[in-house]
Amino acid sequence: MKLEIKHFTLENKKDLTTDYIEQNIQEQGYTPLRWAIIEANQKKILLDMVVIKN
């Protein structure tokens, strides 16, 4: 198991949910352990996260 610290940008959508965020993280090949939104605007959100590389 390899832990990594990542920054990740997602499209900001009206109905933003934890499922949407975690699904996008998993689609990038990572298992999320912890994540937080650290910056947001009308178009994008920036996440800081600790993940397991799959």
2, 22, 24, 25 from 18: Cα distances, Å: 23, 6, 10, 11
- 4-45 pLDDT, tens digit each: 999 999 999 888 899 999 999 999 999 999 999 999 999 999
pLDDT of residue 14: 86
What is the model's pTM?
0.81
* 19 three-state secondary structure: helix
